[in-house]
Amino acid sequence: MAAVDLSAHPGHLARRLQQAHYLLWNTMVSEETTSPQFAVLNALVAESGLDQRTVGERVGLDRSTIAEVISRLGRRGLLDKVRDPQDGRRFMLRLTEEGLRVHRKLTVRTARMNQVFLAPLSGEEQALFFDLIQRVSDAAEGLRHPGSGEPLVTRGEPFAGGVV
């Protein structure tokens, strides 16, 4: 049996991209605040007072992951959970002053990191890269039933012109 050319496997390339991003993030942005945590801070800067489920949907995190991220940010004093007056079972999330300060600091650092990360591409190539990766990411999110975590497709079923 011959070896497979992994350069033609998107999952392998996505993992390599993620490794490069993780290295750059820890080196240039923060060892304390993770990229998913920054995404949550950013979502709450864009729209304060969202509930946990909505924030998770906005940043592409599943239910258990968003719960852990919210918990960690809360323990660090970066966000507050306030009970929703219309639904006592639901909590609304708001950044604290410290959360806003951390977001401002990391926003500058992420901009620099993204310049380094995308340096091998021209401006036109960067735009194409974002378009393509966004389309694949959006389609991949559709592989699960919203909120259930269960796959919509199984092995052998077609997906966006291919077969899973």
Residue-level pLDDT at 147: 52
Q: Which of 53-62, 92-101, 145-154 comes out lowest in average pLDDT?
A: 145-154
Nearest to 136 by CA among 103, 104, 160: 160
- pLDDT (tens digit, 9 = 90+) per residue, 116-132? 999 999 999 999 999 99
**Contact partners, residue 78, CB within 8 Å, separation at least 6:** 41, 95, 96, 98, 99, 102
Domain ranges of the chain: 29-119, 121-159
- pLDDT (tens digit, 9 = 90+) per residue, 23-49? 999 999 999 999 999 999 999 999 999
The predicted model gives 53-62 an average pLDDT of 93
Residue-level pLDDT at 141: 77
Q: Would you say residue 137 has pLDDT above 80?
A: yes
**CATH of the domain spanning 29-119, picked from 1.10.10.10, 3.40.630.10, 1.10.3720.10, 1.25.40.10:** 1.10.10.10
Q: What are phi and psi of 29, to 5 degrees?
A: -110, -65
